[in-house]
Amino acid sequence: MNLLKRMYRNETSVPFAKLWKPVGICSALILIISVGSLGFRGLNLGLEFEGGGAWEVPATGIEAEEVRDALRPLGIADARIQTGGGVLRVRTELSKVAQSDLQQGESSDPIVAQVTTALAELTGQNESAISVSTAGPSWGEEITNKAINALIVFFIVIALYITIRLRWEMAVGALLAVAHDILITVGIYALFQFEVTPPTVIAFLTIMGYSLYDTLVVFDKVRDNEHLLANAKLTYTGVVERALNQVFMRSVNTSITSILPVVSVLVVGSGIMGAVTLKEFALALLIGLVIGTFSSLFVASPIATMLRNRFGDSEADSSRSYRLSEAVRKRSKGNQPALKVPANPAIPPRPRKRRR
Amino acid sequence: MKRQVLLPLLSILIIVGGLLGLSIGAGNSVLLGLDLEGGAEVVLEPVDDIDLSGEALNEALDRAVEIIRNRVDGLGVAEPDITRQSNRIVVQLPGVEDQRRALEVVGQTAELRFRPVCAILPAVPIQLDQSNNQNQDGSDDGPVGILPTDVDAPSVEGAEEENAGPMTSTPEGIGCENLGFTPEEALGMQSSDTEDDEAEDPVILPLLDSEGNPYQRLLLGRTMLTGASLETADASFAGFEWQVLPVFRSGADGIDLFNAAANACFNRQSICQTGQLAIVLDGVIESAPNVNTPFFERDQIVISGNFDQNRAQDTALVLRYGSLPLEFGDPTDPTSGSRVRLVSATLGQDSLDAGITAGIVGLAFVALFMMAYYKLLGLAAMLSLAVSGTMLWVILAWLSETRSLALTLAGVVGLIVSIGTSLDSNVVYFEHLKEDIRNGRTLRSAVDQSFPIAFKTIFWANLASLIGAAILYFLTVGSVRGFALMLGLASILDLVATYFFLRPLVKLIGMQKSIQDRTWLSGLPTPVAEEK
């Protein structure tokens, strides 16, 4: 039987445990590059975070696209352009030094004068009619601080949630996987110096939510298979490997359904229709979603398994009797005659005898 | 048996269809954010004669930005853009097409009110308990004392009260008289909403400790005077503690009103039995000092208490400016630097079109994939997506109307991503179904057996998202809050659509005899294990 067919039938037997080490090394390398570029190059924070300059020109009947075209030669095609009330406003990033100079009424950075000239030419206004001022960040420190505090609470509560619902080892695995995904995505932004805007931050948060959700689905499968620990049928690693194989096709399919729309945004939205702002945003999401699925299988699971093998009581696991299934049977009583109910709904029923 | 499945299926279709009809009938539609559709802009420039400069001006402006942001956030979930341009504050509000409305939101100055404290209540409402009546004597432990610097000021009778404005629900009276209910009854009442804080009605407001947790609630009588009676206020360090020094206007509208209140409180008259006078800003108790003298000179008043430097200065600022720590020019006055106008989108229609086209194309590919892989079940999944999508649209349109939610480009892309993720619950279910059938169950029993297990997985995973979303929603501001809302909505709708729509639909499919034998149609393996 070929591999695709086996995949379709969830009968793959990928030796995940053997792959963990080599994949983990690759993952670690990428992580080092990400953190390294984050440390050395830093993030290219946009106007909304760092502030910049604002030009206001009295002008009517001018289209934002014309302004954008005029600013393109200056390398600031991504400026925020708004019209309204007979005023054209252009905002773009400036260095901190240029900003504080501008506050003093000087313009040390040549770009300030260049933008003024370009806008004067475009609108036919005198340069003196253009007011130049600093533009403060709209995403101020207050917002960032609140978001960081909220994220800390978020991680603590989610860690507790997973510990109560599943296991503490899984909580550690899941949160490290989330951190891994976010660090790599943010690292890509640092490496290529993509501009970080508020939508980018939202993309990071989306990836975080997705990664967590995906990991929980995988861990739930692992838990459903834990009954195989009883009577030493399988080691914990074996249980996890089995669960990952069962959930593998679901991971692949979910990735496909999640990624198709994002690829479409990248290709159709940004490539064909030319919405530039969508490009980097979609790219971040694409990478994040792929890594988010990947990390459930290759980061969260090995970490949880490793911790469990190290700190868990494997003796107790393997000698555990069938108490678990009894609890389940009691619970599901009343719905159906007890005889028909499988001992544990998570255990698939025995295959029927093959028909001749 | 069939009816058991068709009934819930039809009900949810009718409910969702009805909601959609109602939403369209009410004219609700989803507002678009600043980046896609623009909005109204208010530019605030400080008046020329402010006495602040340099760092102090800088701080005041930052504080004003913070206050405006809190105010806009308090009104809903719009993602406003609030920035400083040099000394001006630029506030952009999405979805606001009316300049007057924008001015209302930004320019509305907070109202400062002085209300007598009628009773001190525990932090949480409790059931009526007649015997335990400690309300009347709570004055001794008031946290703050009010003292005149000029101690030998003569005492004076209460002046005429003027605040007999229109009253709707409560009977006539001033201060704590004739509240319409007794303090004992108030024990069981909920705290008043900040929005319901009417000057002429008594209110129950929480008193917060330094961490912002309520430790007491105060039953406050009708407003005795407002911030309009104040001329200015200052904070000063007097020997060993920080104090706030308010200065009232002279005359009947100023110090006389205050003295009337002070006299009533000092003499524990029925309109102010506890002797405490609360200073309330925008429905928040700033301070509730004891009145220790019946008469005050207008510029000899000291509010002392457990103030640290920041709190004293903040309170003084609040007393001085009502809400914003600076006086700004009137935006409707063309000679001032302040303005109000409508502004265009920063990204515009092109980006929205691109986003929507990309979404549709992506959706088409997803549908193709799902139907190729899961056949009829894939179709069921897409129908389920349509149901949850419709519900999402209805909710977003409703939030646009009531909470001024505005969809930004990031939001649109977020929705596109949620297409894929919300299909995950279907995938989890279908994979389980396939596994069960392959293991020998009949389609019918597999449909029944697989759902609870698959749904359990989906439920717990979505619950985690939901908890995360709630935390982010309540603890953050601006776009992060918008994201949290979307995440939470998507998680809930995923569960609702899966349980109430997908489950009966798949059950219905499982019942069809014609489908059970046609694996090419159901996309499921035959129950009998094939040759390995």
Same domain for B335 and B374?
A: no
Per-residue confidence (pLDDT) for residue A345, from 0 to 100? 55
Q: Identity (one letter) of the amino acid at B24? A: I
Is residue A355 over pLDDT 80?
A: no
Cβ within 8 Å, pair B84-A224: no
Query: Which residue in chain B is spatially nearest to A223 when comparing CA positions?
Result: B457
- Do B74 and B157 have their domain in common? no
Shared-domain flag, residues A122 and A78: yes
Res B21: pLDDT: 92
- Asked if residue B500 and residue B366 are part of one domain, the reply reads yes
Number of Cβ within a 10 Å radius of residue B164: 11
Q: CB of B64 within 8 A of CB of B326? A: yes
- Closest to B400 (Cα-Cα) out of B84, B92, B114, B77: B77
Residues A209 and A304 in one domain: yes
Average pLDDT, chain A: 81
CB B243 within 8 A of CB B228: no
Q: Are residues B446 and B482 in the same domain?
A: yes
Residue A82 sits in the same domain as residue A16:
no
Question: For the domain that residue A165 is a member of, what is the CATH number?
Answer: 1.20.1640.10
Statement to judge: residues A286 and A154 lie in one domain: yes
Number of structural domains (chain B) is 3
- Scored b (16 or more CB within 10 A) or e, A16-28 reads bbeebeebbeebe
- Cα distance between residue B440 and residue A333, in whole Å: 23
pLDDT at A329 over 70: no
Q: What angle do CA A292, A294, A298 make, to 5 degrees?
A: 120
Distance to chain B for A107, nearest Cα, Å: 14
Residue position matching structure tokens 């195989």: A228
Say what the pLDDT of residue A349 is.
58
In the structure encoding, which two tokens stand for residue B73, read together? Answer: 């956030």
Q: In Å, what is the CA distance from B358 to each residue of A275, B31, B386?
A: 10, 20, 17
Nearest-Cα distance to chain A for B373, in Å, is: 9
Instruction: Determine the distance in angstroms separating the CA of A185 from the nearest CA of chain B, rounded to an integer.
Output: 16
What is the extent of the structural domain holding B7? Answer: 2-33+348-522
Find which of A311-315, A330-334, B84-88, B101-105 is predicted with most confidence, using mean pLDDT. Answer: B84-88
Q: Please say which residue of A316, A332, A350 terminates a domain.
A: A316
Tell me how close the Cα of A24 comes to any Cα of chain B, in angstroms: 25
Q: Is B530 contained in some domain?
A: no
A84/B38 Cβ within 8 A: yes
Q: State whether A135 and B472 contact (CB < 8 Å).
A: no
Picking from B43, B360, B476 by the largest number of A CB atoms within 10 A of its own CB, the best residue to mutate is B476
Of A135, A152, A175, which one is at a domain's C-terminal end? A135
C-alpha dist (Å) from residue B169 to B145, B166, B179, B217: 33, 10, 10, 22
**pLDDT of the residue at A334:** 45
Residue A156 pLDDT more than 90? yes
What's the pLDDT score for residue B143? 39
Question: Are A295 and A198 within one domain?
Answer: yes
Residue A337 lies in a domain: no
Contacts of B419 in chain A (CB under 8 A): 257, 261
Residue A216 sits in the same domain as residue A296: yes
Q: Please name the amino acid found at residue B404.
A: S
Q: Is A137 on the interface with B (CB under 8 A)?
A: yes
Residues in chain B with CB shorter than 8 Å from the CB of A224 are 453
- In which residue ranges of chain B is pLDDT below 50? 129-170, 529-532
B264 and B386 housed in the same domain: no
Residues in a beta bridge with B278? B115
CB B285 within 8 A of CB B205: yes
Name the A residues in 193-252 with CB < 8 Å from any B CB: 198-199, 201-203, 205-206, 209-210, 212-214, 216-217, 220-221, 224, 246-247, 249-250
Which of B424, B438, B481, B531 best tests the A interface by mutation, with the highest count of A CBs <10 A? B424
Same domain, residue pair A219 and A301? yes
Residue of A nearest to B488 (CA): A209
Are both B284 and B198 inside the same structural domain? yes
Asked if residue B422 and residue B500 are part of one domain, the reply reads: yes
Smallest Cβ–Cβ distance between B410 and the set A1, A202, A209 belongs to: A202
Domain boundary among A135, A166, A185: A135
User: Is the C-alpha dihedral spanning B185, B189, B192, B196 positive or negative?
Assistant: negative
Whether A129 and A250 share a structural domain? no
Alpha-carbon Rg for chain B, nearest whole angstrom, is: 31
* Residues B119 and B98 placed together within one structural domain of the fold: no
Other beta carbons within 10 angstroms of residue B23's beta carbon come to: 19
Q: Is residue B528 part of a domain?
A: no
Tell me: pLDDT of A159 over 90.
yes
**Contact indicator for A186, A45 with CB cutoff of 8 Å:** no
Is A275 a domain residue?
yes
Instruction: Mark A145-178 as b/e (b = at least 16 C-beta within 10 Å).
Output: ebbeebbeebbeebbebbeebbbbbbbbbbbbbb
Q: How far apart are alpha carbons A279 and A289 in whole angstroms?
A: 15
Tokens of B316: 């003084």
Q: What are phi and psi of B301, to 5 degrees?
A: -100, 135
Give yes or no: residues A106 and A157 share one domain. no
pLDDT for res B364: 92
Domain with residue A62: its CATH number is 3.30.70
Residues B285 and B129: beta-carbon distance below 8 Å: no
| Contacts A285 to B, Cβ<8 Å | 413, 417
Three-state secondary structure string covering B233-278:
EEEEEECCEEEEEEEECCCCCCHHHHHHHHHHHHCCCHHHCCCEEE
Q: Is residue B257 part of a domain?
A: yes
**Which of A206, A224, A345 lies at the smallest CB-CB distance from B417?**
A206
Count up the domains in chain A and report the number. Answer: 2
Q: Are residues B173 and B288 in the same domain?
A: yes
Contacts of A149 in chain B (CB under 8 A): 475
Q: Looking at beta carbons, which residues of chain B come within 8 Å of A220?
A: 456-457, 460-461
More confidently predicted of A131 and A109: A131
Nearest to B357 among A151, A202, A273 (CB): A273
* pLDDT exceeds cutoff 90 at A161: yes
Q: Is the Cβ of A147 closer than 8 Å to some Cβ of chain B? A: yes
Out of A199, A253, A350, closest to residue B427 by CB: A253
The chain B residue lying nearest A165, using CA atoms, is B460
State the burial class of residue B54 (Cβ atoms within 10 Å of its Cβ: 0-12, 13-18, 19+).
Answer: exposed
What range defines the domain where residue A72 resides?
Answer: 52-135
Same domain? For A34 and A72 the reply is no
**Average pLDDT estimate for A130-152:** 85
3-state helix/strand/coil string of chain A: CCHHHHHHCCCCCCCHHHHHHHHHHHHHHHHHHHHHHHHHCCCEECHHHHCEEEEEEECCCCCHHHHHHHHHHHCCCCCEEEEECCEEEEEEECCHHHHHHHHCCCCCCHHHHHHHHHHHHHHCCCHHHCEEEEECCCCCHHHHHHHHHHHHHHHHHHHHHHHHHCCHHHHHHHHHHHHHHHHHHHHHHHHCCCEECHHHHHHHHHHHHHHHHHHHHHHHHHHHCHHHHHHHCCCHHHHHHHHHHHHHHHHHHHHHHHHHHHHHHHHHHHHHCCCHHHHHHHHHHHHHHHHHHHHHHHHHHHHHHHHHHHHCCHHHHHCCCCHHHHHHHHHHECCECCCCCCCCCCCCCCCCCCCC
Q: Which of B358, B417, B476 sits opposite A258 (nearest CB)?
A: B417
Task: Name the CA dihedral angle for A160, A164, A165, A169, rounded to a multiple of 10 degrees.
Answer: 70
Q: What is the mean pLDDT of residues A130-135?
A: 85
- For position B399, which CATH number holds? 1.20.1640.10
- The residue of A149, A216, A260 whose CB has the most chain B CBs within 10 angstroms, and thus the best one to mutate to test that interface, is A260
Q: Which region, left, alpha or beta, applies to residue B444 given φ > 0 means left and ψ of -120 to 50 means alpha?
A: alpha
- Are residue B228 and residue B276 in the same domain, yes or no? yes
- Whether A243 shows a pLDDT value over 80: the answer reads yes
Q: Which of A57, A167, A223, A257 to mutate to test the interface with B (most CBs of B within 10 A)?
A: A257
3-state secondary structure at position B360: helix
How distant is the Cα of B62 from the closest Cα of chain A, in angstroms? 10
CB contact under 8 A, B88 and A269: no
What is the structure's pLDDT at A251? 87
Chain A residue closest to B352 (CA)? A275
Q: Read off the pLDDT of each residue in A103-109 and give the average, rounded to a whole number.
A: 72
Query: Using the beta-carbon criterion (under 8 Å), do B83 and A137 form an inter-chain contact?
Result: yes
Q: Is A289 on the interface with B (CB under 8 A)?
A: yes
Claim to verify: residue A166 and residue A312 sit in the same structural domain: yes
Contact A348 B81 (CB under 8 A): no
Among B77, B2, B10, B86, smallest CA distance to B45 is for B86
In a domain, A343, yes or no: no
Q: How far apart are CA A242 and CA A13, in angstroms?
A: 8
In a domain, A356, yes or no: no
Residues B460, A165: C-beta atoms closer than 8 Å = yes
Residues 312-341 of A with CB under 8 A from B: none
In which band, very low, low, confident or very high, does the pLDDT at A111 lie, cut at 50, 70 and 90?
confident
For B61, other C-beta atoms within 10 Å of its C-beta total: 22
Task: Tell me how far apart the alpha carbons of residues B198 and A234 are, in angstroms, rounded to a whole number.
Answer: 69
Note the pLDDT of residue A33.
92
Residue of B66, B365, B476 lying closest to A260 (CB–CB): B365
Separation in Å, CA of A313 to nearest CA in chain B: 26
Whether B337 and B360 map to the same domain: the answer is: no
Indicate the residue of B410, B463, B471 with minimum beta-carbon distance to A199: B410
CB contact at 8 A, A261 and B419: yes
Q: B163 lies in a domain? A: yes
Q: What is the pLDDT of residue A336?
A: 45
* In a domain? residue A327: no
Domain's final residue, options B310, B343, B376: B343
Q: Are residues B97 and B141 in the same domain?
A: no
Interchain pair B346, A82: CB under 8 A: yes
What is the tens place of the pLDDT at every residue in A14-28? 788 888 889 999 999
My answer on whether A188 and A305 are in the same domain is: yes
Find chain A residues with C-beta within 8 A of B343's C-beta: 82-85, 89
Q: What is the pLDDT of residues A261-280, one digit of tens each?
A: 888 888 887 777 766 677 77
pLDDT band for position A318 (50/70/90)? Answer: low
Best of A12, A143, A264 to disrupt the B interface (most B CBs within 10 Å) is A264
Q: What pTM does this model have? A: 0.71
